[in-house]
Structures are given as structure tokens and as C-alpha cells.
Structure 1
């Protein structure tokens, strides 16, 4: 879904304070594992050398039990099969709230009720049978305005509407794990789940966290890298998950207004924000909006930074970065 290669390398900077010198003497703790159909990697400095893998895995399980559409016993699956749902865990409401925020500010380019269309795309890719004739009937159930919620529960305003949080759940998971580390006094960390990343502090004395951005034309290859501290990033692209049918190419990031996705000049959007859920949601929205609308949007929303990879009219690969992130990319 995301198309991001992450890596940690050494990046020097100047102005070393005594606090950095003390933190450099603390060994790095590294955790890794599998979750949400992908992998996670966590690195942090802790004077007590605590190993948080057990509570981290417990948190990941709890988030899945709330937000995973692949689990029939999850809260979101229960809601999709009914007309309303009372929240059982503290994870459903924050994601709904963020989804509503991004839905409104992008004029519906981001919409978690797109699930019926995503299922049609996946079935079409698997079977090879045409599915576009079904989009008009499926669009009847796609619009976040059909969802009503408060801090306690969520309801459907229209029968058969269903939610899919895959476009921001991994980013939210990163945030939950980051908050957990901070609650335990960890000030220097990097959390990565499925390519979504959030960092705080520095890797060690003289070193920033450095994260790689995958090339959309050389999957598995590196396009650029970015120095990071005290922010989050997420990448979306249609260049991995797509298929061709009747001479047309369709990507997995569905436009909730048309019911399908067609190629655009924008190949990859890497978004930087204070939290990973925000970055994750906007990365998806921008792939729906396309290059021109995304650049106009970013010019009006300086709270976000972005690194965009696209093809010009001659088919040449180009990149553009917003002012707030440009100097940190190489």
C-alpha cells in the first residue's frame, strides 16, 4: 500500500550539548516483529535497557482487535456487519475523528467508506473479470456523510455503508506506540510500522534518524533519503499494487468520487506531519487528488510538508519538495 523503504544511517550535525553526550553513552534497544500484515521496527535509547516487546505486541493485538478489517471479530468488522457499534477500546474514536477531519479538508478525496469499491477492485484484480460496471451501484454506499459518531459510539445513516481504515491505521499504530514509549520516559526513538515512521530526538550524539524513500520506477531501490527528528512521515504510491484490464491501468488507491483510480503524473507522495496518522491519511488523499491539486493544496496548508515524485509531460522522473523539508532531503 505504501511503497516506502526505511533505513537508519549516520548523519552528523553540530552543536553537541552535554545531554547529547550522556544519551550517546546509552546503548540502543531494538525491537522488531510482524503485525498488520507487515513488519515493525522500533529503536530507542533507554538508560534502564528495558525491553518493551511484550507490551508492544500486546498493543498491536489490541489495535487489530479494534481496527483490522481482516479480522471478523474486530470492532470495525462488527460495525460493518451491523447498523451501530459502541466502542470497546480507545482506538476507534481517534481514527474516526481524524478520518472526518481529512475527509472535510480534502473535499472527500479521503473517505474511509470506500470499502465496497476496494473490495470490487481486489476481486477484479484476482479474477480478471471487469468490475467497473458495478461502480455506479457501489458509489451509492460511499460517502462519509453517511456515518455519525461521538466519543461513545458510531452509527450508520444509510444501510450497507462500511468502513475501511487501512489508509490511516498503520500511521495511527505508529502514534500509539510512540506515545507508549514517551509515557515510559523514552525521549530518543524511531518507530516504523509498514513503512510509516515517527521519530523523536536523535539517534545518538551527532546523528539524526535517516529514512529512505523508495523509487517508484525501481521498486526496492532508493530514490532519496530524509533526515528526521521530532516528526512523522508516510508514503503512498500506486506503483506496486495495480493491474491492467481492457487496456486500462487501475491502482489500488480508489477515488471515492469516481469509484476507480487512473494513472496520474503523481507516482509517490511522502508526507511529513507532527503525527503519523495525519501523514498517512494525507498521503492517500494526495494520490487520489493527483499532482496539480496536491501542489495547490500544499501551498495553502503549510502545516504539512511533502516530497512528491512524478513524471513530467515528456515522461521524465521529477521530484519536488516543500520548503519545510527540502533541506533535509538528499
Structure 2
């Protein structure tokens, strides 16, 4: 799903043992593993000391088989090769439904049909020569989520050669599904992280919430700040990890679906906070494309979403913008 190059989240292993009260004497379970071409870290309190690793691995593999463009046998790959597809699982429909919501809300700044451009610039599953000249005008005709129609049963293209890439939102969906799996087992205190996308519930111990770090993009592996995350999700998009230089030009994986150009802006990273990870994941790349002022205007009417944006000013100095909902965190 979302590649590791978007791992802008810096995990802080500050999981203390319980101190007072029966609930905090419950053991802290810790699971780590690999799935969806990335890693995961999951921690939760459980008095029964149950391990849900097998169930989690099975769930993530199931989602991967539905939504991974890197698997030729996935549902999304089957759709990309044809004009229509009848859903085999609920995952494809659920992510398409949220994608349509974000596409409409951002007026196309988020568009999961951008795959032809992603590949042309040397990213994605099809290995194109890096630094090759990209004919943007010829490819833009194949970009437009408005040409994809779907219901709970099937998805259909209204234009040939349209192809979907849900990597920029599917990992958030995976985080939410793992969280739902834990909650179905009566787990009330957890932290789920997959490839840098995070969702928490409850607290890590009696006195402290889960604490998550945001990396300084100008000094990788150093923290810019930390956030206390309580019953919320957090995802990040950035342009400084997955990029390369060729023919004197810097190529970045974040592409504006309206212009077809690689996004060139002063923004370095956008971290989005929402009630669920799929919502945060859907908006982080869109906000990157929209730009700081447009994001500020957008959030006036979206109090369910907070952002922490790192950007450079005209002098190249690192600056920050955060919404009021993060001030006390």
C-alpha cells in the first residue's frame, strides 16, 4: 500500500507499565511484522495476554490482494486491465467510496486515477526509465476519477485506459480495519501503526496518552515535534524521501492530478489528524497539492480535521503551521 518513503512518522516507544488501578495492570502486548511492502507496530492492553498477530496478518494480506497495484492477481489490477469489475470483497468498495468523498471535497486535488502519470515519472509498479521526458498532455486524458462509476456490487470505467492507484489512501484503511479487529476483541487501549500511518484509542498508561513524533524534513531522523494522540488517527505525506535526480531535474512522487506536473512548492510535509485513518490518509496528499493558503481556507469548515504543515519560507527557513485543535497537544 503506501510505500515506506512516506514514513515521516517517528515512533516513540514510551509505553510505561501500569501504575494504579486494575485496568492499568493489564499487560501491554506488542506486535511487529511486515505486510503490504512495509512494516507495522501494534501495541494494546489485554488482561488475557492474547496475540492477534495471525488474524492481523491474514487481514492485511486480504486487503493487499484486493487493493495492491503491485500484485497482478489483485482486484484493482484486474479492474485496471478491463472496463469493469465485480467486487470480490468489501475492501475495494469501501476505499472507492471514501475516495469519491475526498475527490469531491478537494475538487480533484485527490484523484486516484493518477497512475499513468505516476508511472511515467518513474514511480509505481511499471518501471519506466527515470528522468524520461513525460508527455503530460497525452497522459492527462487518462486522468479523471469522474470517469469511474461504482456501487456496492461493481465498478465500471466510462473511458478506456483509466487506471486506479489507491496507495495514497488504502494504508489508512488498513489501519482502521486492524483497529476494528482489536475493538471487536474488547481492546480499549491500543496504538496501530502501519507504514507510518497511526490510529490510537485510550491511553498507553494511566497518566499519559500515546505520544507520536513528527520528523523534521530538513534533518531526517530528528523530531520536529511530538503530538499527544488520543482517540484519533494521524497520517503524513511528504516530498523529500521518495525522489530522485536525473538530467539536472529533481523528480518527486507527488503529482498534481490537475496539471500532470510534479508538485513543486515550499511545503515539505503535511500531517493530518482525523477521527479515522482513511480520512487522514485521503487528505494528506490532497492538502500537499492544494497548497497552504487553500488548505487554511478549506479547514475553516472542517473542524473534524487538524493539520500540522512544515514548509520553507523565501529564505529557506523551516516554518510550521498548525490548526487550533493541536495547540494543547
Partner residue, 1:309: 310
SS of the aligned residue for 1:112 comes to coil
Q: How far does residue 161 in structure 1 lie from its aligned partner after superposition? A: 0.4
Give the Cα–Cα distance (whole angstroms) in 2 for the partners of residues 304 and 70 of structure 1. 31
Partner residue, 1:201: 202
Give the Cα–Cα distance (whole angstroms) in 2 for the partners of residues 125 and 247 of structure 1. 20
Deviations 1:243-274 (A, max 9, x none): 33454433201110111223211111000000
Give the Cα–Cα distance (whole angstroms) in 2 for the partners of residues 21 and 106 of structure 1. 46
Equivalent residue runs for 1:66-81 within 5 Å: 66-81=66-81
Partner residue, 2:94: 94
Q: How far does residue 219 in structure 1 lie from its aligned partner after superposition? A: 1.6
Give the Cα–Cα distance (whole angstroms) in 2 for the partners of residues 177 and 316 of structure 1. 39
Give the Cα–Cα distance (whole angstroms) in 1 for the partners of residues 36 and 99 of structure 2. 19
SS of the aligned residue for 1:85 comes to strand
Partner residue, 1:131: 133
**Contact 2:263/2:289 (8 A) holds in 1:** no
Partner residue, 2:10: 5
- How has the CA–CA distance of structure 1 residues 149 and 214 changed in structure 2, closer, same or farther, with 3 Å as cutoff? same
SS of the aligned residue for 1:127 comes to coil
Q: How far does residue 91 in structure 1 lie from its aligned partner after superposition? A: 0.4
Give the Cα–Cα distance (whole angstroms) in 1 for the partners of residues 288 and 83 of structure 2. 31
Aligned residues: 322
SS of the aligned residue for 1:91 comes to helix
Give the Cα–Cα distance (whole angstroms) in 1 for the partners of residues 297 and 220 of structure 2. 28
Give the Cα–Cα distance (whole angstroms) in 1 for the partners of residues 163 and 46 of structure 2. 42
The alignment status of 1:110 with 2:115, answered yes or no, reads: no
Give the Cα–Cα distance (whole angstroms) in 2 for the partners of residues 232 and 318 of structure 1. 23
Unaligned runs of 5+ in 1: none
The alignment status of 1:225 with 2:226, answered yes or no, reads: yes
Q: TM-score, normalised by structure 1?
A: 0.93
The alignment status of 1:36 with 2:41, answered yes or no, reads: no
Moved more, 261-270 or 292-301: 292-301
Equivalent residue runs for 1:172-251 within 5 Å: 172-251=173-252
Q: TM-score, normalised by structure 2?
A: 0.93
Deviations 1:15-42 (A, max 9, x none): x9x9x72221001011110011110010
Moved more, 171-180 or 257-266: 257-266
Unaligned runs of 5+ in 2: none
**Contact 2:95/2:173 (8 A) holds in 1:** yes
Moved more, 241-250 or 198-207: 241-250
Partner residue, 1:23: 23
Give the Cα–Cα distance (whole angstroms) in 1 for the partners of residues 138 and 96 of structure 2. 25
Partner residue, 1:170: 171
Deviations 1:67-107 (A, max 9, x none): 00000000000100111111101101110000000000001
SS of the aligned residue for 1:44 comes to strand
Q: How far does residue 126 in structure 1 lie from its aligned partner after superposition? A: 6.2
Partner residue, 2:299: 298
- How has the CA–CA distance of structure 1 residues 37 and 45 changed in structure 2, closer, same or farther, with 3 Å as cutoff? same
Give the Cα–Cα distance (whole angstroms) in 1 for the partners of residues 63 and 297 of structure 2. 35
Partner residue, 2:156: 155
SS of the aligned residue for 1:57 comes to helix
Q: How far does residue 326 in structure 1 lie from its aligned partner after superposition? A: 1.9
SS of the aligned residue for 2:11 comes to coil
Give the Cα–Cα distance (whole angstroms) in 2 for the partners of residues 275 and 91 of structure 1. 16
Give the Cα–Cα distance (whole angstroms) in 2 for the partners of residues 175 and 139 of structure 1. 32
SS of the aligned residue for 1:168 comes to helix
Give the Cα–Cα distance (whole angstroms) in 2 for the partners of residues 41 and 10 of structure 1. 13
**Contact 2:33/2:40 (8 A) holds in 1:** yes
